[in-house]
C-alpha cells in the first residue's frame, strides 16, 4: 500500500551487482515539501537507493511509484525527461560544467528543456540570489571556492522548480561552516518552493536539517510509514 499523500514511494526494492546485494528489500516514501535524510555506513546501499528512486538505476525487483506513475513502466526517454523536469540533483563535488559560467551552469537545466536563453538566465539569476551567489554569475567553476560552487550546484538543482531534489553527500567535500550554510540554504529554499529533498548522508549534522530520517543497513531500510 502506498502511504497516503506520498509523492515518491518505493516498496521492497532489491538490486544486486554480481554476488553483492546492494538493496535487499528497501522501502521508502517522501511527501511533497518533505526533507528526508537517508543515513547509513559506507556500502550500506544508500546511493543505490537514491539512484533507483531517481530512475537512474533499475532495481531487479520491487516497485517505485512517483506522482501516481510506476517508474518501471516508463521508457528511457520518459525517465530522462522526468529527470530534466521533475527531479533536481546535487552531488558531492557539484559536477558543474567547467567551460560554462556559473550563470550558464544554473540555467543549463532550463536550456536543455527548451527555454529561451534570456528567460532561462533571468530565472537562474533569481535562484543564484536566493542561494547568495549572484555575484558569481560571470565566473567559471574553477574560479570559485568549494562552498560557493556547491551553492551554485544547489541553485542549478532548484532552477527548474523540480518536485524532488536528490542530494548525494552534498556537504561531503566541504568544511563544517560551508556545509552548514549549504544545508541551510538548500532546505530553506526547497521548503519555500514545496520541493521534496532526499539527502544521502552519514553525518548527523546534515541529517539534523531533515524532517525525518531513515537508516539503511545491509541493503535494507524500513521507513516508519511502511511499518506494520
Distance CA 59, CA 46 (A): 13
> What per-residue confidence (pLDDT) applies to 228?
31
Mean pLDDT of 125-137: 95
pLDDT tens digit string along 178-202? Answer: 999 999 999 999 999 999 999 999 8
Asked if the model's pLDDT at residue 227 lies above 70, the reply is: no
Asked if the model's pLDDT at residue 120 lies above 80, the reply is: yes
Asked if the model's pLDDT at residue 226 lies above 70, the reply is: no
Longest dimension (CA), the chain: 53
Asked if the model's pLDDT at residue 160 lies above 50, the reply is: yes
Cβ contacts of 79 within 8 Å, gap of 6 or more: 55, 71
**Mean pLDDT value across the chain:** 91
pLDDT tens digit string along 23-75? Answer: 999 999 999 999 999 998 888 899 999 999 999 999 999 999 999 999 988 99
Mean pLDDT of 135-142: 96
Asked if the model's pLDDT at residue 224 lies above 60, the reply is: no
CB contact at 8 A, 37 and 25: no
Strand pairing class (196-200; 212-215) = unpaired
Asked if the model's pLDDT at residue 98 lies above 90, the reply is: yes
Phi and psi based region of residue 45 (left: phi greater than 0; alpha: psi -120 to 50; beta: remaining):
left
Between 226 and 12, the more confident residue is 12
Cβ contacts of 143 within 8 Å, gap of 6 or more: none
C-alpha dihedral over 132, 135, 137, 142, to 10 degrees? Answer: -90
Task: Say how many C-beta atoms besides its own lie within 10 A of residue 184's C-beta.
Answer: 11
Confidence bin at 223 (pLDDT 50/70/90): low
Give percent of the chain above pLDDT 70. 96
CB contact at 8 A, 144 and 102: yes
Query: Three-state SS across 161-213?
Result: CCCEEEEECCCCCCCHHHHHHHHHHHHHHHHHCCCEEEEECCCHHHHCCCCEE
> What per-residue confidence (pLDDT) applies to 222?
62
Cell numbers placing 154 = 544547489
Strand pairing class (8-17; 61-66) = antiparallel
Task: Say how many C-beta atoms besides its own lie within 10 A of residue 34's C-beta.
Answer: 22
Amino acid at each position: 500500500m502506498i502511504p497516503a499523500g506520498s509523492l515518491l514511494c518505493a516498496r521492497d526494492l532489491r538490486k544486486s551487482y554480481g554476488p553483492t546485494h546492494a538493496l535487499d528489500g528497501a522501502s521508502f516514501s517522501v511527501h511533497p515539501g518533505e526533507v528526508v535524510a537517508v543515513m547509513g555506513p559506507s556500502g550500506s546501499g544508500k546511493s543505490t537507493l537514491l539512484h533507483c528512486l531517481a530512475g537512474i538505476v533499475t532495481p531487479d525487483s520491487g516497485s517505485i511509484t512517483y506522482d501516481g506513475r510506476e517508474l518501471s513502466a516508463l521508457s528511457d526517454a520518459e525517465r530522462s525527461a522526468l529527470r530534466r523536469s521533475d527531479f533536481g540533483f546535487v552531488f558531492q563535488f557539484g559536477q558543474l560544467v567547467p567551460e560554462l559560467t556559473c550563470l550558464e551552469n544554473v540555467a543549463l537545466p532550463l536550456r536543455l528543456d527548451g527555454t529561451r536563453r534570456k528567460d532561462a538566465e533571468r530565472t537562474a539569476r533569481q535562484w543564484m540570489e536566493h542561494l547568495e551567489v549572484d555575484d558569481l554569475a560571470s565566473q567559471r567553476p574553477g574560479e570559485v571556492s568549494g562552498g560557493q560552487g556547491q551553492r551554485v550546484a544547489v541553485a542549478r538543482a532548484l532552477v527548474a522548480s523540480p518536485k524532488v531534489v536528490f542530494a548525494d553527500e552534498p556537504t561531503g567535500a566541504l568544511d563544517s561552516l560551508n556545509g552548514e550554510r549549504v544545508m541551510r540554504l538548500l532546505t530553506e529554499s526547497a521548503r519555500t518552493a514545496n520541493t521534496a529533498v532526499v539527502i544521502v548522508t552519514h553525518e548527523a549534522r546534515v541529517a539534523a536539517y531533515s524532517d525525518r530520517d531513515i537508516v539503511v543497513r545491509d541493503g535494507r531500510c524500513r521507513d516508519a510509514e511502511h511499518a506494520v
